[in-house]
């Protein structure tokens, strides 16, 4: 393909309810979308960077800047460009994996739409629907939490993930387990909120038979996670620490995790996410697909990824109405605790023009 240009589009999406984690509370999403235009087709990408650099070093304004000044120009004048060639072309720019992932996603979408192939087929999906879990933020009270969990279970979600932090961990987990029973698939996510010295406290979660504790320590503390894994019985899952297939292999080799959360934006794109999946599968380590409150565009790609054979745990691929009253695409609707894997060309979904116009705050055309 030869790119004609790339459109950067900022949209603002209010959340149906505030979403609180150990690093902050979100009430809306400031999202950067990319539209890649080629002679054959258009493709869409979604950058998962948040508005502020609290979850990771990346944030939306920085992603837009590096795309405008470095990443998009790096693809200029490449007549034989395909998605596989995007990462090597962008490699001279250090870091900025979320921005790179969005650009690769858009190029891959355009390539597959032009060829009439789906994301699922390209990535290696083996299922046409995937089981869905839901991430439940930190609440103001145990009662509020129990009501929220009950609502998600009534909606059909097959797994519950509770965000935790010091002071909001053992008590909410105990309350959920006592209220909804031992058969509930339950896990927790700390988003780096603890230290190795908290090992004995985190071990108090062991009696609740959790699927996993996700990213309890700082993302750079692989050694600490390995030490923690020897102290607590609950499996340790890494999220922010896994930035590539190579870091996944290193963490597994060092005994730092027994499960891996795969987030395509965090590792630089869906092709690298597939490599992370392959590395984990080779080591017998289960993976699941994490979420970043994506619109229907990112959700379509995540669902396709979650249909690969190594994704044996339900992911955070929630229905559209978990976060947004109205999505920018035809909404993803939960059916028996599952979402369908789009089968159409590329992502299998596209933005609804009227809805996209309603939420757009700015656009910028970058000719190539």
Question: Which residues face 46 on adjacent strands?
Answer: 33
pTM score > 0.85 for this model? Answer: yes
Per-state percent for the chain, helix, strand, coil, to nearest 5: 40, 25, 40
What's the pLDDT at 22?
Answer: 84
The Cα–Cα gap between 47 and 52 comes to: 13
Domain boundaries, the chain: 3-116+349-367, 121-340
Cα torsion at 298, 286, 156, 130 (round to 10°)?
50
263 annotated active-site: yes
DSSP secondary structure code for residue 222 in this structure: H
Instruction: Per-residue pLDDT tens, the chain, 368 aa: give them.
Output: 889 999 999 999 999 988 899 888 999 999 999 999 998 899 999 999 999 999 999 999 999 999 999 999 999 978 789 999 999 999 999 999 999 999 999 999 999 999 999 999 999 999 999 999 999 999 999 999 999 999 999 999 999 999 999 999 999 999 999 999 999 999 999 999 999 999 999 999 999 999 999 999 999 999 999 999 999 999 999 999 999 999 999 999 999 999 999 999 999 999 999 999 999 999 999 999 999 999 999 999 999 999 999 999 999 999 999 999 999 999 999 999 999 999 999 999 999 999 999 999 999 999 99
The 8-class DSSP code of residue 149 comes to: H
Q: Per the residue annotation, which of 2, 100, 161, 263 is the catalytic one?
A: 263
Tokens of residue 235, six digits:
């499996």
Contact 264, 119 (CB under 8 A): no
Catalytic residue among 2, 94, 161, 163: 163
Contact 74, 90 (CB under 8 A): yes
The fourth-level CATH superfamily of domain 121-340 is Enolase-like C-terminal domain (3.20.20.120)
- Tokens for 33, please give them: 């979308």
- What is the CB neighbour count within 10 angstroms for residue 308? 23
Between CA 183 and CA 177 the distance in angstroms is 9
Could you write out the DSSP letters of every residue in 272-293? HHHHHHHHHHHTT--EEE----
**Cα 149 to Cα 61, 155, 241, distances in angstroms:** 34, 10, 28
Residue-level pLDDT at 77: 78
Helix or strand holding residue 349 (H, E): none
The answer to whether residues 279 and 97 touch, using CB atoms and an 8 Å cutoff, is no
Q: Are strands 129-131 and 338-340 parallel, antiparallel or unpaired?
A: antiparallel
Into which CATH architecture does domain 3-116+349-367 fall? 2-Layer Sandwich (3.30)
Q: Is 69 exposed, middle or buried (0-12, 13-18, 19+ CB in 10 A)?
A: exposed
Cα–Cα distance for residue pair 139/253, rounded to 1 Å: 36
CA angle, residues 262, 326, 98, in degrees to nearest 5: 30
């Amino acid at each position: 393909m030869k790119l004609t240009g790339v459109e950067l589009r900022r949209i603002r999406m209010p959340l149906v309810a505030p979403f609180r984690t150990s690093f902050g509370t979100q009430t809306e999403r400031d999202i950067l979308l990319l539209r890649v235009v080629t002679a054959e087709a258009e493709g869409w990408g979604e950058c998962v960077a948040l508005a502020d650099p609290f979850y990771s070093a990346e944030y939306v304004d920085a992603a837009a800047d590096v795309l405008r000044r470095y990443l998009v120009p790096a693809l200029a004048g490449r007549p034989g460009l395909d998605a596989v060639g995007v990462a090597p072309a962008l490699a001279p720019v250090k870091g900025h994996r979320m921005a790179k992932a969005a650009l690769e996603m858009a190029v891959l979408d355009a390539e597959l739409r032009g060829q009439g192939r789906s994301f699922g087929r390209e990535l290696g999906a083996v299922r046409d629907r995937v089981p869905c879990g839901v991430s439940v933020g930190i609440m103001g009270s145990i009662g509020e939490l129990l009501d929220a969990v009950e609502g998600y279970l009534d909606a059909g979600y097959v797994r519950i993930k509770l965000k935790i932090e010091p002071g909001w961990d053992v008590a909410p987990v105990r309350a959920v387990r006592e209220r909804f029973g031992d058969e509930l698939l339950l896990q927790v996510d700390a988003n780096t909120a603890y230290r190795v010295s908290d090992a004995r406290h985190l071990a108090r979660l062991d009696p609740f038979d959790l699927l996993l504790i996700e990213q309890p320590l700082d993302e750079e503390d692989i050694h600490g996670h390995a030490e923690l894994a020897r102290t607590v019985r609950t499996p340790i899952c890494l999220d922010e620490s896994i930035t590539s297939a190579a870091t996944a292999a290193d963490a597994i080799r060092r005994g730092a995790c027994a499960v891996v959360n795969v987030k395509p934006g965090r590792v630089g794109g869906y092709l690298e996410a597939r490599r992370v999946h392959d590395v984990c599968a080779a080591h017998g380590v289960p993976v699941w697909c994490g979420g970043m409150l994506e619109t229907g565009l990112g959700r379509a790609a995540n669902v396709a990824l979650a249909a690969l054979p190594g994704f044996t745990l339900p992911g955070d691929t929630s229905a559209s109405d978990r976060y947004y009253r109205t999505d920018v695409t035809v909404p993803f609707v939960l059916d028996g605790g599952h979402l369908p894997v789009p089968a159409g060309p590329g992502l299998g979904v596209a933005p609804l023009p009227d809805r996209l116009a309603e939420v757009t705050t700015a656009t910028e055309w970058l000719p190539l």
